[in-house]
Structure formats: C-alpha cells, structure tokens
Amino acid sequence: MRKPTRLLLLAVPALLWTACKPPEMYHWGKYEDSLYKIAKDPTAMDRYGENLIVQINAAEGLNKVPPGIYAEYGYFLLARKRGEEAVVFFRKEKERWPESAVLMDRMIASAAPKPAEAPKPAPAPAPEVKP
Amino acid sequence: MKIRALLILGALLALGTACKPPEVKPSDYTKFRAENPKSILIVPVVNRTVDVTAPDYFLSTVSRPVAERGFYVYPVYLVKRILEDDGLADANLVHQADPKRLGALFGADTILYVTIDRWDAKYAVLATTVEVEFRYSLKSGKTGEEIWNSKEYFQYTPNNNSGGNPLAALVAAAVSAAITKAAPNYVPLAQMANAAAVNRLHRGLPAGPYHTQFLKDQGDF
C-alpha cells in the first residue's frame, strides 16, 4: 500500500470521531485543569490566576469568553487584596453576562467598600425626635 | 488485503454508530419549558463515596458542558467561597437549604445539585476498572421545584492493544494497572459523564438562550 492511502485511512476515522463532538462556543483554556490543581494543591493559586488572564486574553481575541471567567479572575484579584483591579473584572462580567448582575453588584460592593474617592452623599437629615 | 479492507470498513461502521446514544426513557420537559431558565448556579456537590477528593475534582468538570448548552453558569470557585463565607461550607447544608434563598442570593434562575454516588477503582491483576456515578437535579430558584433530573454511570478499563502478542499485552496491562493504582484519574470519566448528562437526546438539557438551538429543539428534548 502506498503511503498517502494509508494516511488517508487513518484520517477518516479521526474525522468521524471528531464529528461526534460539536465545536465549542467558548475558549476554555486551562480553566478546568487549573481548578482541578488548586483543589489538590492550594499553592497552585498563582498559576490559576496566570492561567485565567491568559485564557481571558485569548478568548477576547476570539470573542469566545466563557461565562464566569471574568468573575473568577476578579475573585482571584480580590483575594490578593487587589480590589480596584477586581472591580474592573466584576464589571466586565456584569456587562457581558447580565444574568450575573446580582452577584457582581455584591462583589463590586465588597471589593470597593471605601467610599473615599467619591464624595459622600449628604447625610439624610436626622428624624426629629419629639420629646 | 481484502481482510484488511473489511476490517477498516468494520471499524468505520463501529465509529459511526458510536455517536448514537442508547435508547432511554424520555424526560418530561413541561416544568423546564415553563421555567425557561437562562442561568444555572452550580453548587458544591454532595459526596456519597469514601473518596474525599471527589467533590473538588468533580466541580472542575461541570461548568464547561453546562455553559456549552447555552446557559449562563455562575463562577463555580467564587460561588463555593461565597457560600463558605455565608456559613455553608458543607455541601450537605447547601443541598438542604431553600433553593429560593440561593436563587435570590445569587440572582440565579435555577440551581444544579449534583450527588456523587460512585467514584471508585476496582483493582484486578491485569487491569483496573475506574467507575463513576452521578445524580443531577435542577431546581427553580423561584419556586424551589425540581425542573429536570438525570443520572449517569460510566466505567473505564484501560485498553491494552499490543497487536496480539500475549506477553506484550501482559506487560502493558501490568504497567497501566500500576499507574492507575498510584493515582486513578477520574477526571476524564467525570467529563464524559457530564457531557452525556446534558447532551443526551430526550434526557439532557434543552438548549439555553446562548445556544443556536434555543427554543428550536422541542423535537429532541
């Protein structure tokens, strides 16, 4: 048997096999793998964060950012006390996925609890106490 | 030459039918269709096995297939940590909590509860069989009612094809059994089970709003 024919015979079953699996909507990168690793080893946390941002950058380029990924990265930043950066990603999640609004508003509030930058709204007048 | 061609043809046919899921009793989608959920909150899983590492490993495999069905899936790791902060570190407590409360807390249309019933390895001389079994229950965050459920059992025995040499087959089996014994890898099996649970015709999840088949798959689900 000549070589090209043999290769073709190998390629056909491979094609059929992948035909069973529909193409995915999102770019998952190393998300599953690194979730699995932090479960096993908490010191894998740095790598988890790195993998998330790599995934986000690649997925944005493809316009295939999966649900939850901006929020997971935001939470990683929040745990590292990088609240301001975390808010950016919580906002991205909320903007891309309106279903996340309730949770993201809560995360944004917990990431930026200090109202230092913005001037406080005038306090409501104290209710009059009748003697 | 003729035999080889026949063999190849046979293999092709086998692969073709491999895509077809086995016949199962179709699910009732009345409640699911009435709810028409957009989002799914996957909460930590209840573990009915002796393997304490099973829940975390499992949780890493479930977001992807559910999201690919077209639903918004809440970030599983963040959700787990938030629940811990709320005093719900124990998955049993989460599963006993009112789904309506969880729905309101996260703004989720539905909550997916998974129970691991089996996650073990059967050791034998020549090959180790790894098996997993999961139960899935999707409940409404508005009414607390179950709107979908499923169950999957998968098992895997390493296949040692060494081309008909019995000695080589024996050695290969011994090697793969040793590897599996040291660290049985359940993750690929869990991934297969989850993909089957959500994609199986007449048993899986109908397409969600981000899927091209959204509200067009009444014939299949």
What are the φ/ψ torsions at residue A107 (nearest 5 degrees)?
Answer: -70, -40
| Helix (H), strand (E) at residue B111 | strand B110-122
CB-CB under 8 Å, B67 with A36:
no
- In 3D space, the residue among B159, B185, B183 whose CA is nearest the CA of residue B173 turns out to be B159
Interface predicted TM-score (ipTM): 0.81
DSSP B47: E
- In 3D space, the residue among B207, B211, B204, B58 whose CA is nearest the CA of residue B133 turns out to be B58
Q: Residue A11 — pLDDT band, cuts 50, 70, 90?
A: low
Is-contact B61 B132, C-beta < 8 A?
Answer: no
Distance of alpha carbon B129 from alpha carbon B99, whole angstroms = 36
pLDDT tens profile B67-119: 999 999 999 999 999 999 999 999 999 999 999 999 999 999 999 999 999 99
Q: Which residue of B has its CA nearest to A12?
A: B12
Count residue pairs from A and B with Cβ separation < 8 A: 99
- Is B59 an interface residue toward A (CB < 8 Å)? yes
Is-contact B102 B41, C-beta < 8 A?
Answer: yes
Model pTM score: 0.80
Q: From the list B8, B77, B107, which residue is nearest A101 (CB)?
A: B107
pLDDT of residue A119 exceeding 80, the answer is: no
Distance of CA A97 to the CA centre of its chain: 11
DSSP B127: -
Q: Locate A87 and state its tokens.
A: 């808010």
**More confident call, A113 vs A95:** A95
Q: Locate B154 and state its tokens.
A: 């998968």
Q: Computed over its alpha carbons, how large is the radius of gyration of chain B? A: 20
Alpha helices in B39-149 (DSSP H): 54-59, 63-68, 76-85, 91-96, 99-106
CA A96 vs CA A60, A91, B53, B72, B184: distances in Å:
11, 9, 33, 10, 38
Chain A residue set in contact with B, beta carbons under 8 Å:
9, 12-13, 16-17, 19-20, 24-26, 28, 31-33, 35-36, 38-40, 66-69, 71-72, 74-75, 93, 97, 99-103, 107
- What average pLDDT does range A68-89 have in this prediction? 97
Specify the pairing of strand B39-42 against strand B72-73: parallel
DSSP A100: G
Burial label, B109 (beta-carbon count in 10 A; 0-12, 13-18, 19+): buried
Distance of alpha carbon B112 from alpha carbon B149, whole angstroms = 9
Q: Locate B140 and state its tokens.
A: 């409404």
Q: Locate A19 and state its tokens.
A: 């035909």
pLDDT tens profile A50-66: 999 999 999 999 999 99
In chain B, which residues have their Cβ closer than 8 Å to the Cβ of A56? none
Is-contact B138 B204, C-beta < 8 A?
Answer: no
pLDDT tens profile A28-40: 999 999 998 998 8
pLDDT tens profile B141-199: 999 999 999 999 999 876 644 455 666 666 666 666 555 555 678 888 999 999 999 99
